[in-house]
Amino acid sequence: MGDVATFSFYPGKNLGAYGDAGCVVTNDNGLADWMVTFARHGGKGDHVMEGINSRMDGLQAAILNVKLPHLPAWTAARRGVAACYNELLENVGDVITPTPKSDRDHVYHLYVVRTENRDALREHLSQAGISTVLNYPKALPFYPAYAYLGHVPQDFPAAYFNQSRILSLPIYPEMSEEATTHVADTIAHFWGSESAKVIQLTTANLIAAEARAPVVADN
């Protein structure tokens, strides 16, 4: 466990405000006092440091207080949707579904699958009226903002390998079994379509390929 943890309350999060918001939690009283001071212009009345204006709006806090008691039920519903996906997408094409460790739980803010056919599958789903998202189209070390660090793919082989293979499928607490099944059936149809040019790759082979992540630079 770390000394500090952060939570985003962006509207699209599992617990979202009606505007930008977030919080920081810590058991360290000294760190807590420092963060409060920093977020309030570096002090109130007598500024002891250069700070920022980063206080949560009271309206957003009120909204979050109302929504917070519902979070366990919303999380359980997301897990139900994910379990449905996991069952329906088992052995479909080369799709790899998210698998939490046995001693961990997943809140499924996103339901992200991996496939060698990511872009073609995404287009197939779009043609069927199903929205998908590339939440992280490029791994963080390879963005222009961090070019000065000089990272190369072999520094982060798993991240580099997966950035072109991940796809976020629709998931939200109110998503019905019918809707989830429709998405899964459309994905299965992609591999059954005679016109689809796809790469058939078993899960075992994909894991093996992941271990051999490319070492060429991302141009």
Residue pair 172/202 in contact (Cβ under 8 Å)? The answer is: no
pLDDT the model gives residue 165: 96
pLDDT the model gives residue 1: 63
pLDDT the model gives residue 87: 94
pLDDT the model gives residue 206: 44
C-alpha 168/C-alpha 81 separation (Å) is 13
Structural domains present in the chain: 4-69 (no CATH), 71-211 (3.90.1150.10)
pLDDT the model gives residue 201: 47
pLDDT the model gives residue 64: 97
Nearest to 179 by CA among 129, 134, 133: 129
- Write out residues in the chain with pLDDT < 70, as ranges: 1, 193-219
Query: For 115, phi and psi rounded to 5 degrees?
Result: -160, 145
Q: Please give the DSSP secondary-structure letter assigned to residue 193.
A: -
CB atoms within 10 A of CB 163: 19
pLDDT the model gives residue 210: 46
